[in-house]
Structure 1
């Protein structure tokens, strides 16, 4: 009785395996591109960091006004 090689044999990746590999390759390419942009000086601060800084500054001013 001969059995045909299935997806578990390691010879041919499954569709989900190919999708995962493609996802990993796309993720690595994005990271590589971001590192290259940062090295060229095109680094930008994330929006959430700017929003947090604004909230802290406004909160500090309000605290100074109400506590003084």
Structure 2
């Protein structure tokens, strides 16, 4: 007979998986395998285009 795991154990497993994911990301970053998130690139692009348009309209 298989019993469902208690919620505490399930939560602990989720926390441990999350910690391992963070450890892996830190290790990748230390090796130089980091990437810039897409949302950061999007914000930078919008800021540059917005700045250029503002310069065109205000000049």
TM-score by length of 2: 0.90
Count of aligned pairs: 55
Larger radius of gyration: 1
Match of 2:31 in 1: 40
Unaligned runs of 5+ in 2: none
Identify the residue that residue 10 of structure 2 maps to in structure 1: 19
Q: CA RMSD in A?
A: 0.9
Q: Aligned partners of 2:58 and 2:20: how far apart in 1?
A: 51
Q: Secondary structure at the match of 1:45?
A: coil
List aligned pairs for 1:1-68, cutoff 5 A: 15-68=6-59
SS in 2 for 1:43: coil
- Measure how far apart 1:66 and its partner are: 0.4
TM-score by length of 1: 0.78
What is the alpha-carbon distance in structure 1 between the residues aligned to residue 47 and residue 37 of structure 2?
16
